[in-house]
Amino acid sequence: MNHSVTLLKSTPEARDLRAEVAALQAADQKLTQAEISRQSGVGSTALSQWINGRYPGDNERLEADLARWIDAHNTRTLEAKALPKAPDWVSIPTSERILAAYSYAQLAGDIALVYGGAGVSKTYTAEHYQRAMPNVWIATMSSDTKAVVSALEEVTMALGLSVRGGAATLRREVARRVRGTMGLLIIDEAQHLGIDALESLRAVHDKTGIGLVLQGNESVYAHMTGGNRAAYLDRLFSRIGKRVRVTRSTKGDIDALIDAWRLDPRECRAALHDIAGKPGGLRGLTKVLRLASMFAAGDGRSLSCTDIKAAWRDLGGE
């Protein structure tokens, strides 16, 4: 099987690049001049002048840059069309448990804790719930949002607010935005938050009655129940109304995902369960299924165990 990608030629000679740019813009409204400038590296002023036939600089160099960008854009588009898409939503047992926690927190105006291993559908489920319900916001934390101000900045961005200031100012603006909405604020990757940041989110919840979900890996729970942090976070921990621990994908989760891809590789099901049991869980399984399906489609045949094994190896599996 030949899975290599042939890049299109970037030579601008004998090409009507202005017509090609215009055609791309007509096909995709997101390709504004500003966006093309950003993606291609051609300055916005120079691009505008060139499109209007009035660029006074080195047209040959600019057109070479644009030709490379156009060809790269077209190649990415072709690859995207060839890449099978994962199902938009798969109802799996673990997701249903997580959804119940979200629903409880939002309806009761309470705090829920969702924690466990990577790749078990936490973020995927949060995004589905956000699409399905009104006034649901997801703020994703990272290693640089441990402090209260940086954490609250992530929350304000998730809420669509444009505000600057210290911790007190940001907390007041967050509270003002969510008060009375009967909404839900989901803090994803919450294990990155420091004590002050967690306490600030608790204060927002206390003042507004907004539903709050703290979601992350196992250390989210450990931080609140052990060590020096436990005493400081007692007020937060005592307010948690529902806890959901998802350590790894279940057999039902894996079977539901395989079935959702409309595949029936009975002879491969054991291998797929083994892949889903590795670090990365369902996320890793989805990547394998997508790439394996791509291999099979490229050869014009149905998916086989050989494709699954090849995809697993290609993605760095054992």
Residue ranges of domains in the chain: 17-82, 93-246, 251-314
Residues 275, 273: Cα–Cα separation, whole Å: 5
Q: Which H/E stretch holds residue 79?
A: helix 59-82
Closest CA to 224 of 189, 261, 184, 191: 191
Question: Between 87 and 239, whose confidence is greater?
Answer: 239
pLDDT for position 43: 96
Instruction: State the CB neighbour count (10 A cutoff) for residue 267.
Output: 9
Q: Given this structure, which CATH class describes domain 93-246?
A: alpha beta
Measured CA to CA in angstroms, residue 192 lies from 130, 134, 196, 233, 306 at distances of 22, 27, 12, 15, 40
pLDDT for position 57: 94
pLDDT for position 6: 44
Q: Given this structure, which CATH class describes domain 17-82?
A: mainly alpha
pLDDT interval class at 133 (50, 70, 90): very high
Region 290-308: mean pLDDT is 79
pLDDT of 149 higher than 60 = yes
Question: Between 247 and 300, whose confidence is greater?
Answer: 247
pTM: 0.69
In terms of C-beta density within 10 A (0-12 exposed, 13-18 middle, 19 or more buried), how is residue 194 classed? middle
Beta strands across the sheet bearing 136-140? 136-140, 184-188, 211-216, 111-116, 240-246
Strands 111-116, 211-216: parallel, antiparallel or unpaired by DSSP?
A: parallel
Residues 238, 256: Cα–Cα separation, whole Å: 36
pLDDT for position 104: 97
Strands 136-140, 111-116: parallel, antiparallel or unpaired by DSSP?
A: unpaired
214, 113 in Cβ contact below 8 A?
yes
